[in-house]
Structure 1
C-alpha cells in the first residue's frame, strides 16, 4: 500500500491500524539540535486522544508515546525519529458483522475491492485512529516553528448550522482549549455543545468545520503551480479523514467578488518593503507566501459510524440486510480534529522552510528566524554581492 508518506525534506512515514498492537511514525529530515522530549509530543497527543468529554468517543486510549530513536540528551541528532503509540482498548468483536457487509459510507468495500483483503477491526488503516501518528509528527514540526517564531492555531468555527463569528488570533490562543468543543467563541461553543448532544441522543452525528490561522510565516515560501503553498496545504488538509473541503483567504466567497473588490493595493511597511493593503488573499499570492497571516478552513462531514438502523448488502451472498453500527464513536469530528489540522499545517510549513533554504537541513542554526527578505535578487545591490 502506497500513500503512507508525507513531505519531501521533512518526511513523515506512518504505520499501524485501528485495532492493531500499535500505531507508529518515523520522522526523517528533522535537523539536529532541536530540544525535544516525549512530553512535548505527549502534550499534543493528549489534545487529540479519545474520551476527553461526553461529546467524544468513550474509547479509553492513553495514547502514551514512546520515542525510540533520533534523540540524545534531549536533542535531536539529525537521524530518523521513531515513535510508537500502543493501542490499549480495541474491541474488534463488534465489527465481525461487517466483514462482508460494508458499513454505509465507510472504506470497507473500497479497501476490499482494491486489495482483496483488509483489516476489518475498527476500520483498520482507514480509521481516523491513524491520525495519532500525524499529531505526534506535527508536534515535532511545531517545536521547529516555535523556535522560528511561527505560530499555528485552529478552532472549531462551525457545527451544523451554528457558525461562530470571526475571532482574533489572540482569542484563538486564549479560548480554544477552554471548552470541549474547542470553539474560541465561548457563547457559540455552548450552543454547539447543546446541538451536538441533541444529535448524540438521537443516535445521529453532525458535521462542521475547523478554521486555522498562522502568525510569523516569512514571505517567499512556496513555488508556482504544483508546489504552491495552497496546493500543498490542500493536499495535507484534504487527507484529514472526513474532509470534504479546503479553502483559504476569501475561499468560496471569492466567487461573489469582482476583481476591483478582491484586488488589494500595495503600500510599504515600517521597513519600506511592499505589503498588500488587506489580506483577503490569505497570506498567499501566486502560490507564494506574502509574510501576512495564512488562514483558511477545513470542512468535515458527519461521522459515518452511527447507531441508527441502516441498510447494507453482503457481497458474498447478495443479501440485503439492516444493520446498526454499535461501538464507541464520536458524534462530531471537529473538536478532536483541531490538533490534527494544526499538525498538518505544521508539517507543511516546516517542509517549505527546508525546501526554501530557510533552515539548515543538517543542524539548526544558533540564530533562528534570520531570513533573507530581499525582493529582487537581480537588483544592483544583490547582483553585485552575488558576483
Structure 2
C-alpha cells in the first residue's frame, strides 16, 4: 500500500489495522546517541489512548509501545527504529451485522473502489487507531525538538457550538476536552454527553501554537513549512480544514492590515502565523484545523449494501462522540515530525 510514508530526512512509515494484530511504525532519521526509552514515548501515547473519559471511546487499549530496533543500551543507534503497539481489545465481531453495508462518512466505499477489497473491521487502515503510530514517532521528534528549545502545544478551542474565551495552557491537560478554557470545557462535556445519549457526535476546532522555532526553516516553493504542516494535518482522517495565521480571515483584510510590519526590534505583528514565503520567521507558528464529527454514530442513516440495495444502518460499538480531545496529541506529533524533518533539511543545506 503506497502512501504510508511521511517525511524526507526524518521519515516514518506506519503499518497495521484497527482490529488486526497491531499498529506501529518504522522511524528513519533519528540521530545516534539520543537517550530514548519506551517511557519517553509512552507519555505521549497515554494522552492519545482510548477510554480516558465520557467523551472518548470506551475501548480499552493500553497502547504499550515496544521498541524492537534502533535502540542499544538506552540510546538510539542511528538505524531505523521499529515501534509496535499490539491490539489488546479488538472486537471485529461487532461489525459482522453491517459488513455488507457502506457506513456513511467512512472510507468503506472509496477503499473498495480503489483496492477491490476492504477491511470492514473498524475501517482497517482508515481507522483513527493508525494515529497511535504517528504519536509514537512524534514523541521522538518532540524530544529532539525540545533540545532545540521548541515547544508545541495543541488544544481544543471549539466544539459543539461552544468556544473557549480564555487561553490558559496550564488547564489543557486538566480537563477531558483538552481545552484551554476550563469553563468552556465543562460546557463542552455536558453538550457532548447529551448528544452521545442521542446517538450522535460532534466535530470541532483544534489550535496549535509552536514557539522557539528558528528562522529559515522551509523550502520556498513546493515544500513550504505551511504546505507541509497542511499535508500533515489533512493526512489525518478526521481533519477537513487547515488555516495558518489569520487564515481565511485574511480574505476580508486590506494589505495594510494583514502585512506584518517591522521595526528595529523585529515584527510588530504576526498575522502570517510565523511563516512568510514558506519559510519560518522566528515568530510563533500558530494554526487551526477543522475536525469533522465522528462518522460512527448509532442514529439510523440511509446507505446501500455491496449489491447496491438501499439499506438503513446503525453503527453500534465503541466510538468517540468527539474526536478533538484525542486528536490533540496527534496534532502535536505531526507538527513535530514536520519541524524535525525541516531542521534536518536546513542543517544539510547550511553546513
Same fold, TM-score > 0.5, yes or no:
yes
Query: Are residue 206 (structure 1) and residue 202 (structure 2) matched?
Result: yes
Question: How far apart are residue 97 of structure 1 and its match?
Answer: 2.8
* Distance in 2, Cα, partners of 1:205 & 1:36: 38
Question: How far apart are residue 6 of structure 1 and its match?
Answer: 0.3
Query: Are residue 349 (structure 1) and residue 339 (structure 2) matched?
Result: yes
**Which blocks of at least 5 consecutive residues in structure 1 are unaligned?**
270-274, 360-370, 373-387
Query: Are residue 223 (structure 1) and residue 219 (structure 2) matched?
Result: yes
Q: Which residue of 1 aligns with 2:180?
A: 184
Query: Are residue 301 (structure 1) and residue 298 (structure 2) matched?
Result: no
* Distance in 1, Cα, partners of 2:166 & 2:5: 34
- Equivalent residue runs for 1:19-98 within 5 Å: 19-98=19-98
Question: How far apart are residue 98 of structure 1 and its match?
Answer: 2.9
1:43-95 deviations in Å (ceiling 9; x for gaps): 00000000001111000100000001111111111000001000001111121
Question: How far apart are residue 166 of structure 1 and its match?
Answer: 5.1
* Distance in 1, Cα, partners of 2:97 & 2:113: 18
Q: Which residue of 2 aligns with 1:234?
A: 230
Number of residues paired by the alignment? 351
TM-score, L = length of structure 2: 0.98
Question: How far apart are residue 315 of structure 1 and its match?
Answer: 2.3
1:249/1:37 CA distance change after superposition, 3 Å: same
1:224-256 deviations in Å (ceiling 9; x for gaps): 121100111000001112111000100111111
Question: How far apart are residue 160 of structure 1 and its match?
Answer: 2.5
Q: Which residue of 2 aligns with 1:340?
A: 330
Q: Which residue of 2 aligns with 1:311?
A: 302
**Which blocks of at least 5 consecutive residues in structure 2 are unaligned?**
none
- Root-mean-square deviation (CA, aligned residues, Å) is 1.3
Q: Which residue of 1 aligns with 2:275?
A: 284
Q: Which residue of 2 aligns with 1:265?
A: 261
* Distance in 1, Cα, partners of 2:280 & 2:166: 22
Q: Which residue of 2 aligns with 1:135?
A: 135
Question: How far apart are residue 109 of structure 1 and its match?
Answer: 1.2
* Distance in 1, Cα, partners of 2:348 & 2:52: 38
Q: Which residue of 2 aligns with 1:331?
A: 321
**Worse overlay, 333-342 or 87-96:** 87-96
Query: Are residue 320 (structure 1) and residue 316 (structure 2) matched?
Result: no
- Equivalent residue runs for 1:357-372 within 5 Å: 357=347
1:307-362 deviations in Å (ceiling 9; x for gaps): 0011211122x321212101000000110000000000000000000000179xxx
* Distance in 2, Cα, partners of 1:252 & 1:201: 34
Any idea what SS the aligned residue of 1:51 has? coil
* Distance in 2, Cα, partners of 1:94 & 1:86: 19
What stretches of structure 1 move > 3 A for 4+ residues in a row? none
* Distance in 1, Cα, partners of 2:259 & 2:149: 29
TM-score, L = length of structure 1: 0.89
* Distance in 1, Cα, partners of 2:174 & 2:331: 18
Greater Rg, structure 1 or structure 2? 1
